Structure 1
């Protein structure tokens, strides 16, 4: 058999997107308060991408390599399941890993059975059975739904690339698929911006809405690799210890830690993997089509589950994200003459070099997105605010350790903390763009921590006018009103933001801790007033 190859457009897109993803990771190391952790995650992610890119240089692909990788996936799935039973990994992270690994392991099991290798098939099957049991014990319904979505994707692609007599209008299926992807993206954006549209206590949209504050603050750099937990707690949830370790959306998590450039690169990687899978479905050989189905379930399930969970990326299991991408890129290397779209061979001479144009232009899409971001109106203020929050975050969180410092406010009052660079950049940001929410909110937070209540009120009131739906703005502005003795105003602000009285009691403790008796008493009275208001009107319930 002649050597197979991936279409140049797909190959170049994967390389360009990967380079952007890795470079944004380097920026994420620079932005991180914990550089050691960030470097470890950078090396891990970079090696995982390089490993997934091996098929790009392969000229003689063999299905046996895929089978071996599938068997390794089965073993890894069994180990992941065992880690759950031993209490080594949380259930949501194990579920995320199994959504990726189980389909590929089943592909390896099918390969063994078809070749009569029953001696190896039995232990492989037992490993996969343990993984399925673990997935059931994990009680992650969204993982099963994601696997169902992957199965639907595989069925749709098989039908789409099946005999022509079964599909009269293939373009209609393509348009429907594209509309579905855009629809899901639009629904996610809508729920993130308006989480109150969802009733019944599902808190994912609320978390997405809160995490978007970090994307607003760190759009170009991200908070840094592995830094999400403490940055969320310190600047969004205003808590002294980690509260959430992920944003519960894979794409949002990448954007929060690596900025929009990292997101552009990651989306390009996923698109290239999907295109490689699409190309593989055009092959007439049964082995390739069987593997394409298993890879479709894994790829579709991984990113469907990623819509509601970012456990893979936010944990040390992050390399698994690149496993289905590597499989998808390997499949086209098993044969030649594959088609990127059914009925259209982009390498045919009569197309006038269309394939060459695609190979040159498609990889530029993520680069063009980055160029558009960097030339967007207001980019100067955006960059200055981003540099300011990075300076503040690195200065504070590189020193803050609980319980050495009981709360971040105490560090901000300490002579050990130098926020001069951050404060200067915030002021420069407001000189460029007086309506910058990030600068007002962060300056208000610093002033509140230092007891400069009138200054805090001015900045937080300005932030409230610009972004009344932001949780930290409402909580801090209500606190300012409370310590200034404006109890009714504090309760109204807190109620509108669904503030949790139990979390506000931490703030009351802070004033007692520093010996600010009047402020502590005013906070205590305002919190009791909030509790009475919530009892009188249960519709105002605390956000999760």
Structure 2
């Protein structure tokens, strides 16, 4: 070793540095794996958190700072804080902790990538290798996943190619989640294919083919659209002629509008070509979900409902007014973040996106060297493809959230490459916005707004707290009667405080009405729900709750008028039949007759 140090000091230091960098890159993954596996053993969690923290403590002592400064520091800090608040608000924290650990590991991975001095090609190759392994697993086991809804031509192709290998399934990923995981990496793989030597080019070409084929058989239209948007932007960036660029944008916009018109025209029921109706039916059901999820978000505006598998029961119980899970996540990235983390988390996401694309615009304007520019574009356009897919799906925030680390890795890769053209670090906002005068003015404006809207804001805050405690009382597992009663009483106290500040507060009125309805106190439920209906006449939860309240007091005409506005009429009619049988079994023959009669009325189409 002494001779090695004497004659090859540079090689030894390089090898030692590579080992440290490699160790730093892999330390976030134990935390991610523990989160994905759902292990909550305190010793295991403490160990992986300690491993993840070691590089940051070391960097603090050696360099005097935790990380290189980036525009993402503020929004990611707010994002993590909001995640902890959401976990506190979750009706069962054990549902939220695994995804919280995954989120912490993903954020850790982002900062690790931007701080690690490792080859750009090696980082890209590592991400592509991981995506290729996922694609191979998805393709080879497709026939063994037994997806109930996959019946198209591409699915049949996937069944054919996925039947050659034996059943090695240990995890059944949703096709949309696989597409979300692969779509952001495909561009990186294509760049590696074009920039490597002939020997490696074959390997990267094979990887690109596998990733592309996996994306194809996933039948994820949202991911395909995201990839199309990313490729279109790349094509425009490669067009140096400004006039030609404007012409291409115009032609593309006109083509998109014409395509939309054709889709709508061909999807009319009276049209002989009825090939696109299923697509529009899916879109209609998604928009219904988005509208209902947005209304539900208002109930938990400040705290959120927590990460993980918390959405399903809350959505069913308080938006659809049924007691069984119906849908498991909001299928939209922004709604999923808002619901899980509250307004703070959604604000952090928007802040992060604004900062990211301001950063991208600056780097594209300044330019990078010819070796790094393709990787930068592939990374930020990969992030863009994932975010566009997020408009129609959000597997990153659907349990177990296994696609989340790849998004943060691509994000970190783009920032790491782009920062080479931006030294020293530049904040999101221009220098004029950094002065104490500007921030003082913003603070004064915020205080004025807070004073002017103090009562409505406090009222909404108490309504949020009431919703948290009501959810805890209704859905938390293994509560004894005393604890459950104390929680629901605390919820009522918060709702009443909310109404003392703002008597028309719709959330507090609706929730108190729903509590009274569950206790068969129909007089009180009608009183509160009628007040809520005046403020939110299009909220499905209010329509259904007030309709049921009218039903149980025999006001069938008014109940029918409201319940006909509920989205899924077939499910509602079936539910009324169940209610009729239940009331009859309880000896409440008049209520059973009301439910039966209304079900008969709703069965007649108008």
Contact 2:576/2:596 (<8 A) preserved: no
- Give the Cα separation in 2 of the matches to 1:35 and 1:427: 26
Q: In the alignment, does 2:125 pair up with 1:41?
A: no
Greater length-normalized contact order (CA 8 Å, ≥ 6 residues apart): 1
Indicate how the Cα distance of structure 1 residues 243 and 324 shifts in structure 2: closer, same or farther if over 3 A, else same.
Answer: same
- Give the Cα separation in 2 of the matches to 1:98 and 1:85: 19
Partner of 1:7: none
Partner of 2:175: 91
Which of 477, 484, 490 is 1:399 aligned to? 477
Partner of 1:519: 591
Q: In the alignment, does 2:515 pair up with 1:429?
A: no
- Give the Cα separation in 2 of the matches to 1:414 and 1:483: 30
Partner of 2:391: 307
- Give the Cα separation in 1 of the matches to 2:486 and 2:478: 10
Indicate how the Cα distance of structure 1 residues 498 and 70 shifts in structure 2: closer, same or farther if over 3 A, else same.
Answer: closer
Which of 62, 65, 70 is 2:122 aligned to? 65
Alpha-carbon distance, 1:117 to partner? 3.5
Contact 1:223/1:256 (<8 A) preserved: yes
Q: In the alignment, does 2:281 pair up with 1:224?
A: no
Partner of 1:274: 357
Q: In the alignment, does 2:96 pair up with 1:24?
A: no
Partner of 1:419: 488
Cα RMSD between the aligned structures? 3.7
Indicate how the Cα distance of structure 1 residues 291 and 474 shifts in structure 2: closer, same or farther if over 3 A, else same.
Answer: same
Partner of 1:209: 291
Which of 205, 210, 214 is 1:134 aligned to? 214
Contact 1:18/1:265 (<8 A) preserved: yes
Superposed CA offset, 1:108-133 (max 9, x none): 3334xx23333xx4444334433323
- Give the Cα separation in 2 of the matches to 1:370 and 1:396: 40
Indicate how the Cα distance of structure 1 residues 323 and 56 shifts in structure 2: closer, same or farther if over 3 A, else same.
Answer: closer
Give secondary structure in 1 for the equivalent of 2:409. helix
Which range moves more in the overlay, 84-93 or 39-48? 84-93
Partner of 1:497: 566
- Give the Cα separation in 2 of the matches to 1:73 and 1:359: 41
- Give the Cα separation in 1 of the matches to 2:422 and 2:531: 62
Q: In the alignment, does 2:377 pair up with 1:293?
A: yes
Superposed CA offset, 1:209-237 (max 9, x none): 10111221111100111211111111001
Indicate how the Cα distance of structure 1 residues 400 and 481 shifts in structure 2: closer, same or farther if over 3 A, else same.
Answer: farther
Which range moves more in the overlay, 269-278 or 433-442? 269-278
- Give the Cα separation in 2 of the matches to 1:329 and 1:263: 21
Give the unaligned 5+ runs of structure 1: 1-9, 181-197, 341-345, 348-353, 402-410, 538-544
Alpha-carbon distance, 1:306 to partner? 0.7
Indicate how the Cα distance of structure 1 residues 368 and 251 shifts in structure 2: closer, same or farther if over 3 A, else same.
Answer: farther
- Give the Cα separation in 2 of the matches to 1:237 and 1:169: 51
Partner of 1:465: 534
Give secondary structure in 2 for the equivalent of 1:53. helix
Q: How many residues align?
A: 470
Structure-to-structure mapping, 1:41-440, within 5 angstroms: 41-57=99-115, 62-79=119-136, 81-82=138-139, 84-87=142-145, 88-111=172-195, 114-118=196-200, 121-159=201-239, 162=240, 166-167=241-242, 200-201=280-281, 202-226=284-308, 227-281=310-364, 282-315=366-399, 316-317=401-402, 318-334=404-420, 356=431, 377=453, 378-399=456-477, 418-440=487-509
Contact 1:97/1:312 (<8 A) preserved: no
Superposed CA offset, 1:1-36 (max 9, x none): xxxxxxxxx944300000000000000110001211
Indicate how the Cα distance of structure 1 residues 329 and 531 shifts in structure 2: closer, same or farther if over 3 A, else same.
Answer: same
Alpha-carbon distance, 1:503 to partner? 3.8
Indicate how the Cα distance of structure 1 residues 208 and 138 shifts in structure 2: closer, same or farther if over 3 A, else same.
Answer: same
Partner of 1:184: none
Indicate how the Cα distance of structure 1 residues 95 and 267 shifts in structure 2: closer, same or farther if over 3 A, else same.
Answer: same
Indicate how the Cα distance of structure 1 residues 371 and 380 shifts in structure 2: closer, same or farther if over 3 A, else same.
Answer: same
Contact 1:142/1:305 (<8 A) preserved: yes
Structure-to-structure mapping, 1:446-485, within 5 angstroms: 446-485=515-554
Contact 1:295/1:328 (<8 A) preserved: yes
Indicate how the Cα distance of structure 1 residues 51 and 519 shifts in structure 2: closer, same or farther if over 3 A, else same.
Answer: same
Contact 1:456/1:480 (<8 A) preserved: yes
Partner of 1:194: none
Superposed CA offset, 1:164-215 (max 9, x none): xx33899x99xx99xx9xxxxxxxxxxxxxxxxx995322221111011122
Alpha-carbon distance, 1:80 to partner? 6.2
